[in-house]
Structure 1
């Protein structure tokens, strides 16, 4: 069912032109966002709304479609919130912006935040939006790379910046150490991979993988096809780590008004993601309207692939699965990078995550008849065009 968007103004904080030019090629980097909110209550009085700022990991793209849809459709307003979305950029670490008190909530990957928590950041995962990992390692079929053990002796690309841990964990699980590969610092594009300089490249299902399929195969004159590639999926290997989550201030959660606001924010955000699930075209359009620079087919591909990370949801969108959390922590503590370092040196505190607020949000949504499980979810078919246009 298509919901007709309400006419409203989307409040978005932009990053500079340099970050915008990188929007197509970076999936999940860590905008400076200022908020006038003091964590006051979520319930509006009459037309009075509580200002709230959300810090993203990156610039506007369908990775964040649910939040943009929640603004456009008025879901946040329905909960008494006036939400400003602060875009991220190459020099922005969302969890640090949140820990500094400059925004009310932030979106970031769990392993990246675990390191910040160990260093003293007082923040908590209050809703685990992505249930599955989107990180893969892709290679052309003629390279014969079908599993992590096949990476030995190969030129293996990695962006670094906290995106490498699933790769390293998958390799080490199969007895391949970092020194057994030629680790290549991968740029935030697929040029080196397409040129043959990288045998196996890091690729998010919703971005870089699509960039390859949007490129012309010089041998055929047609776009590359999925059958031209081998894909190592860390969900299948068993070294997937939790990615996009909503983070809140642990100190402010002790305040009843901020706690109520958090439930309201999670509730409206999940409604946004349910809207994107049911109408991915409208979800993609909401992000484009917010200023995303991505091409039409690429944006829709991203929306569709992001939906696959969320739906169907095992326990309701946002619920933090203890086994998935423990796996992420175990990898963060025991997987070494090329310098021998690990993400964290000890178990994170119990305050690092909580299901208290998302459970309340899910209960309210179910009472309102919102499908928060998506058991019947089916992805759409997306045709990519050259260059993602």
Structure 2
């Protein structure tokens, strides 16, 4: 599902993958050095994130800094995303061995022949939410009726699907095109707006001194996994490359386990090391890190481990994709790697 980003920065998750066909045409000519042995016998491995360096990737920073990837035989390069980076194309072209995206983004790419598969899901709940002020809170879908709602570019389909899923009368909801910040809500131009759960609420509180009210679309029938880990299907057909992906996921899980136990280290690494020139603050990133817990940790991850993809969760994803008119089936997901990694447990060490 399309989601928006803080400070007016447009997420590539909002776009159908531009130029994916052209990238595929070039793939035969593309080659990667990632199969070569690195220093100390480590295998180079490129990880493409979905956005610029922020604590959204804090568990990965912990894994990198603490040597969890190296523990699993990999020399991992973390490639930042951003408004000019097509993270799915990076995976398709071989520039990255694994990348982050959202399930709808992957399904759209596959509709253009990308041949990608999701092997793990970082955000169990999609971060798309409706943010409102405490003076005029929107706590349930029916509260949207009679309100003026800001819809950033790219979220129109999400709004339509959300209204249909909750049997809302769209004629009773006034929609207003907005940008990608909280200014219209702060000024009272709108009563609510579609937002990214762990970012815009922080900006709203900074601007007003009050916590906003958030309603996750995922809690009301509209959800797809986000921050999913994506590889080419061909990668899993190669024993050595598949082993590297498994090693990466093990290191990644260790980093995120530490994050969930205490995000302090992840916040410090984000602000002081991995995004040291990003103008971020400890206070701001700590708030975001705590909000992300609601997306990362669910009853399913408590039972089976972080990044888990259950049969029920996949069914819900496919139902939402169908509501968004995005073609997909069960082959979009491969749960075998996580099953082998966890071996029936809910943590690894």
The two structures share one fold, judged by TM-score above 0.5: yes
Partner of 1:333: 322
Name the structure 2 match of 1:249.
Answer: 232
326, 339, 349: which one pairs with 1:359?
A: 339
- Cα displacement (A) at 1:201: 1.0
What is the aligned counterpart of 1:306 among 281, 284, 292?
292
Note if 1:130 corresponds to 2:110: no
Note the C-alpha offset of 1:316: 1.2
| 2:167 corresponds to 1:175 | yes
- Could you tell me which residue of structure 2 aligns to residue 266 of structure 1? 249
Q: Could you say which residue in structure 2 is the equivalent of 1:14?
A: none
CA shift in 2, pair 1:294/1:28, >3 Å: farther
Does the C-alpha gap of structure 1 residues 284 and 164 become closer, same or farther in structure 2, counting only changes over 3 Å? Answer: farther
Q: Give me the whole-angstrom Cα distance separating, in 2, the residues matched to 1:36 and 1:141.
A: 53
* Aligned residues of 1:24 and 1:294 also touching (Cα < 8 A): no
Note the 1:1-389 alignment, pairs <5 A: 24=7, 26=9, 29-30=12-13, 37-38=32-33, 40=35, 47-143=40-136, 145-161=138-154, 166-176=158-168, 181-216=173-208, 223-224=209-210, 226=211, 229-288=212-271, 289-291=273-275, 292-312=278-298, 313=301, 314-335=303-324, 342=325, 344=326, 346-348=327-329, 350-363=330-343, 370=349
Gaps of 5+ in 2: 14-29
Unaligned runs of 5+ in 1: 1-21, 217-222, 336-341, 371-389
SS of the aligned residue for 1:320 comes to coil
Alpha-carbon separation, structure 2, partners of 1:179 and 1:122: 40
Q: Is the 8 A contact 1:166 1:234 kept in 2?
A: no
Q: Which has the higher helix share?
A: 2
Aligned length: 323
Indicate conservation of the 8 Å contact 1:157/1:198, yes or no.
yes
Partner of 1:6: none
Residues 46 and 194 of structure 1: is their aligned pair in 2 closer, same or farther, counting only changes over 3 Å? closer
In structure 2, C-alpha distance between the alignment counterparts of 1:123 and 1:49, rounded to whole Å: 25
Three-state SS of the structure 2 residue aligned to 1:47 is helix
Q: Deviations over 1:66-87 (max 9, x none)?
A: 1111111111111111111111
Query: RMSD of the TM alignment (CA)?
Result: 2.7
Distance 1:24 1:61, change over 3 A: farther
Q: CA deviation at 1:215?
A: 1.7
User: What is the CA–CA distance in structure 2 between the aligned matches of 1:23 and 1:231, rounded to whole Å?
Assistant: 15
TM-score, length basis structure 1 = 0.75
TM-score normalised by L of structure 2: 0.83
